[in-house]
């Protein structure tokens, strides 16, 4: 029998305890949610659930004893939540385990490191996997992870804490990249300072008492994060409109001085100036990464970097043709734009003008390869071009439209430049190239959104993680988690061999066999 007869929306609060957990639970309950409280200390859970029921009505809170170090315990709790209350609309992973008095790396046992990391990271992974299917089916959902200063900085004494929090931040970014376009809002909240409560806040209060710091004791809210105030931030994240979702947010008290502050200013402008400086030396700048993945076996995707040069156009054409059979063999393919020039610079292989003989060979090679693939290659009059703008446009389309639209966008941009001579470094060239993919008004709107700071940073983030020194660039991780990288459009036999995909190598047909076919 359902314990949620009114079918109120459900929030699962993992790591529910006095402080942030209870404050967030109460904030959402006040807005009409029913809350599932997950932790492993029953007396605290009972007290918390009873208090919420007393204040907001019987049945508004239920608790589930859960050991976040044990996957089956997490799975069992979420199964019971689904049965008792219904699908989870909001997941808040607030669990965090650390020592008040830190230990050095040499003094930290493997058991302690494992236990803390399971609570700080593994439990979040298991919890997320439990709620995602229902959220995806509904086309919406909110997942909020509570981070800490240790999510960004490894500090002495926190060897069993920070690694898990670093991992949680990365995991939050991965979930965002994979599911944001499907309606899942993921946010990572960095609590950059001590929280008022029995643990860290209590330590600070006792310290101030010993020091006679009455000014701090009388103005606690300026020095310690107040859980009730932070809970408003969590509600704010949940209720944000889709056009302005926040992924990462850091919060601290006004006069907090316990930890190092996060860099608040100068970050985005530096990234932007880096991109502009690097792109000035690019020969080709519109690139893409394809990720063929043995998804049931690998935790890391395989990738192919595709550049808007004729060779990258060839690579894209090949991978699109190969994709149906790759999918049939359990390998998925994705395509993500990035800057080849920036990636090359990052690995110490900056662009240099080609030798005359090499340039002549490239012209011959691109013309013949184009013919074999059925593509018309005409060297553009404006060459090379500064196509940073085109990269941003392609990135925005990739992240905000169905994959079929990006599959149309890339060849439209490539053929627009390499067959029709449109200068895709300029808005008018983008409009010409994408005329058959989107209406002009929509293209103009896409170009505006492509210039947002979030989208610009997205391009740079992907670039810095590409690791490519040329294009096309292929990274393949097979079922044994073995990774290999390739450069070039003529390595497909090696890629297929590494991935374990059956294929027919290029071979010469004997004369008698050729005559028989004729």
Beta strand 287-290 with 303-307: parallel, antiparallel or unpaired?
A: antiparallel
> Which pLDDT tens digit goes with each residue over 345-389?
667 776 666 677 777 787 788 888 888 888 988 888 887 777 778
Structure-block tokens of residue 435: 């005329």
Give pLDDT, residue 308: 47
> Which pLDDT tens digit goes with each residue over 276-320?
333 322 222 233 333 222 222 232 334 333 334 677 778 788 888
> Which domains, from first to last, does the chain contain?
10-251 (3.40.50.720), 301-499 (3.40.30.10)
Please spell the DSSP secondary structure of 339-402, one letter per residue. Answer: -HHHHHHHTT----PPPHHHHHHHHHHHHHHHHHHT------SS-S---HHHHHHHHHHHHHS-
Indicate if the pLDDT at residue 504 is higher than 70: yes
List, in sequence order, every beta strand (DSSP E) within 156-300. Answer: 184-191, 248-251, 287-290, 293-294
Contact 4, 29 (CB under 8 A): no
Q: At what angle do helices 162-179 and 123-138 cross, to 10 degrees?
A: 20
Q: What pLDDT band is residue 205 in, cutting at 50, 70 and 90?
A: confident
**How far is Cα 336 from Cα 155, in angstroms, rounded to an integer?**
35
Q: What pLDDT band is residue 52 in, cutting at 50, 70 and 90?
A: very high
**How far is Cα 486 from Cα 476, in angstroms, rounded to an integer?**
9
**How far is Cα 34 from Cα 36, in angstroms, rounded to an integer?**
7
> Which pLDDT tens digit goes with each residue over 230-245?
999 999 999 999 999 9
Give pLDDT, residue 320: 82
> Which pLDDT tens digit goes with each residue over 92-109?
999 988 766 677 888 888
Question: Which residue has tokens 């608040």?
Answer: 264
Comparing CA positions, the residue from 72, 73, 80 lying closest to residue 12 is: 80
> Lowest-pLDDT range, 118-127, 214-223, 289-298?
289-298
Q: Which residues of 147-182 are buried (b: 16+ CB within 10 A; e: fewer)?
A: bbbbbbeeeebbbbbbbbbbbbbebbeebbbebbee
Contact 248, 188 (CB under 8 A): yes
Contact 456, 271 (CB under 8 A): yes
Comparing CA positions, the residue from 352, 346, 302 lying closest to residue 469 is: 346
- Neighbouring CB atoms inside 10 A of 515's CB total 9
Q: Which residue has the higher pLDDT, 199 or 411?
A: 411
């Amino acid at each position: 029998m359902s314990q949620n007869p009114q079918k109120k929306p459900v929030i699962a609060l993992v790591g529910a305890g006095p402080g942030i957990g209870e404050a967030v639970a109460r904030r959402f309950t006040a807005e009409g949610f029913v809350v599932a409280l997950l932790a492993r200390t029953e007396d605290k859970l009972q007290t918390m659930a009873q208090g919420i029921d007393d204040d907001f009505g019987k049945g508004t809170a239920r608790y589930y004893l859960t050991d976040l170090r044990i996957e089956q315990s997490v799975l069992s709790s979420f199964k019971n939540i689904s049965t008792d209350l219904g699908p989870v609309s909001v997941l808040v992973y607030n669990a965090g385990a650390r020592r008040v008095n830190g230990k050095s790396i040499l003094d930290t046992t493997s058991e302690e490191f494992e236990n803390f990391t399971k609570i700080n990271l593994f439990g979040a992974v298991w919890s997320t996997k439990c709620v995602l299917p229902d959220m995806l089916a509904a086309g919406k959902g909110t997942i909020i992870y509570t981070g800490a200063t240790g999510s960004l900085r490894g500090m002495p004494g926190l060897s069993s804490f920070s690694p898990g929090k670093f991992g949680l931040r990365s995991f939050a970014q991965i979930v965002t990249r994979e599911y944001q376009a499907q309606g899942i809002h993921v946010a990572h909240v960095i609590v950059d300072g001590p929280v008022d409560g029995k643990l860290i806040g209590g330590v600070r209060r006792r310290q101030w008492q010993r020091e006679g710091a009455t000014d701090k004791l009388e103005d606690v809210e300026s020095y310690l994060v107040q859980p009730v105030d932070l809970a408003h931030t969590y509600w704010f994240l949940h209720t944000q409109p889709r056009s302005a979702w926040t992924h990462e947010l850091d919060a601290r008290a006004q006069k907090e001085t316990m930890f190092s502050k996060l860099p608040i200013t100068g970050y985005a402008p530096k990234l932007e100036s880096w991109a502009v400086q690097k792109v000035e030396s690019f020969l080709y700048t519109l690139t893409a990464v394809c990720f063929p993945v043995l998804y049931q076996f690998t935790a890391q995707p395989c990738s192919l970097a595709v550049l808007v040069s004729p060779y990258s156009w060839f690579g894209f054409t090949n991978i699109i043709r190969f994709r149906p059979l790759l999918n049939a063999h359990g390998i998925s393919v994705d395509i993500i734009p990035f800057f080849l020039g920036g990636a090359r610079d990052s690995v110490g292989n900056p662009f240099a003008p080609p030798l005359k003989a090499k340039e002549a060979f490239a012209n011959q090679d691109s013309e013949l390869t184009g013919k074999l693939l059925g593509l018309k290659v005409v060297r553009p009059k404006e060459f090379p071009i500064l196509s940073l703008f085109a990269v941003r446009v392609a990135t925005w389309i990739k992240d905000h439209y169905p994959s079929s639209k990006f599959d149309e966008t890339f060849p439209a941009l490539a053929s627009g430049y390499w067959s029709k001579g449109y200068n895709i470094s300029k808005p008018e060239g983008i409009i010409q190239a994408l005329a058959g993919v989107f209406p002009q008004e929509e293209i103009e709107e896409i170009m505006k959104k492509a210039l947002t700071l979030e989208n610009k940073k997205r391009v740079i983030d992907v670039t810095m993680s590409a690791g490519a020194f040329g294009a096309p660039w292929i990274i393949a991780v097979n079922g044994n988690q073995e990774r290999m990288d390739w450069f070039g459009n003529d390595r497909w036999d090696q890629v297929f061999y590494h991935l374990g995909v059956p294929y027919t190598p290029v071979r010469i047909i004997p004369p008698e066999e050729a005559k028989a076919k004729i």
